[in-house]
Amino acid sequence: MAKCCLRCDTDDHAGPEEEAIFRSGEVFGIQESVFTPIEEILYRLSGLAGQALRRSRSSFHSLCKRANATHKRRPCILMDQTYRVSDKGVKSPRVCLMCTFEKTPIDDLPQIFRHFCLQVYTELADVLETAHIHSIPIWPLHGEMQWIIMWPFQTTREMLGRWPRRGSKAGCGQRMGMAFGKKAMSQLDMLCKKKAKEWKAFCVSQPGFAEEQEDKIRKYKKTWKPSTTGSLTASRGSLESSALSAWRLGQDTQSIVSQTIHEDQVSLFDEKTPYAIYQPGVGTAESVRPKHTRRASKGSNRTSNAASLASVNGAASVCSMAPKHRSPTREVFTNFTKRIGVVAPWGTA
């Protein structure tokens, strides 16, 4: 393994940065799941049938319909020159996702990830692969592996601005965003086609291979525990603790009510659905886990409060908005936000 690359030539940008034209190779931020391209590969390319096909197709469409697939913003590479449409931004651009897999070694990932991942040359990381790609300037990671999932797909997510260069300043007349040059994009396009052709050949020549890979992805998704923003441990922390930490650090009020969203999970405070819908006669969040009956005290008419936050599959949270059922957790958080001048996501009523 070498720490420097002596064989790759210098590269040039596809063109200048512009406000209304986004060029092939420019890098943007996006809230997209690493499982979105993987699910599309499984159901479009792998020749699945029956239940395996239905699972992959359903999972892919479920990811595409969400406003945000993850809380974490990650970089993506624009594969084609695209134009801004009025004030609506860019609609359904074709991108390749970039990811670090939360420092998980590439050899520990399912085979489909290993097959479709291409290493990005970074400042200090070891070059593990003969085939790798260079950004302009060098991708600013220290000791971590940066990967590209070599499957271009049309994302339904909003593009969240160019991925900034280190030390870039607006108004200085210099390029603000990271990018991949013309040679790098030609190499990436060629490798994407090559990897897709190889994967399809694997699936055709080896009966049961595609079904085996689909099953491995299902199992891997159940154990997916990113170690930082997407950690399951972080999501189980109380909202009160998050608010207190944010207040001490001087963060803005919007970040106080933010929630960690894991891969393939829905946000409790999604922008489009900030509140859970309460419907009379429909089970609330209390019904998603076993009930533990409590013996009422003699002479007392008190009843237990309905739980406002319940764990779904050990990870995602839902909010019970049933009237007259207010949990101690929500009361504490509401009272705390009143003291620091922040409006709780469910209001103060």
pLDDT per residue as tens digits for the range 204-225: 998 899 899 989 999 998 886 5
First-residue to last-residue Cα distance in the chain: 61
**% of the chain exceeding 90 in pLDDT:** 23
Q: Tokens 């803005």 identify what position?
A: 252
Res 241 pLDDT > 80: no
List Cα–Cα distances, 160 to 30, 32, 36, 125, 203, in angstroms: 6, 11, 18, 27, 36
Residue 204 is predicted with a pLDDT of 92
Average pLDDT taken over every residue of the chain: 69
Max avg pLDDT among 154-158, 236-240, 250-254: 154-158
The beta-strand segments (E) located in the chain are 21-22, 27-30, 74-78, 82-83, 94-99, 117-120, 132-133, 146-149, 153-154, 309-312, 316-319
Q: Quick: pLDDT tens for 170-184.
A: 555 567 899 999 999
**% of the chain exceeding 70 in pLDDT:** 55
CA dihedral 199, 202, 208, 214 (to 10 degrees): -20
Res 142 pLDDT > 60: yes
Q: Tokens 């003969």 identify what position?
A: 130
Query: 23-32, 88-97, 243-252, 278-287 — which is least confidently predicted?
Result: 243-252
Res 228 pLDDT > 70: no
Spatial separation of the C-alpha atoms in residues 68 and 98, rounded to whole Å: 16
The type of residue at 75 is P
Q: Quick: pLDDT tens for 45-76.
A: 888 788 888 887 877 777 777 766 667 889 99
Whole-model pTM: value is 0.62
Query: 89-93, 174-178, 196-200, 277-281 — which is least confidently predicted?
Result: 277-281
What would the two tokens of residue 17 be?
């940065």
Spatial separation of the C-alpha atoms in residues 200 and 44, rounded to whole Å: 10
List Cα–Cα distances, 192 to 110, 209, 214, in angstroms: 18, 20, 20
- Tell me whether the omega of the peptide bond preceding residue 328 falls within 30 degrees of 0, making it cis: no
User: What are the two backbone dihedrals, phi and then psi, of residue 231, each rounded to the nearest 5 degrees?
Assistant: -70, 140
Residue 126 is predicted with a pLDDT of 74
Residue 122 is predicted with a pLDDT of 87
Which of 109-138 are b and which e, b meaning 16 or more Cβ less than 10 Å from the residue's Cβ? bbebbebbbbbbbbeebeeeeeebbbbbee
Q: How many other C-beta atoms lie within 10 A of the C-beta of residue 140?
A: 15
Q: What's the pLDDT band for 197 if we cut at 50, 70, 90?
A: very high
Pairwise pLDDT comparison (204 vs 329), residue with the higher score: 204
Pairwise pLDDT comparison (125 vs 133), residue with the higher score: 133
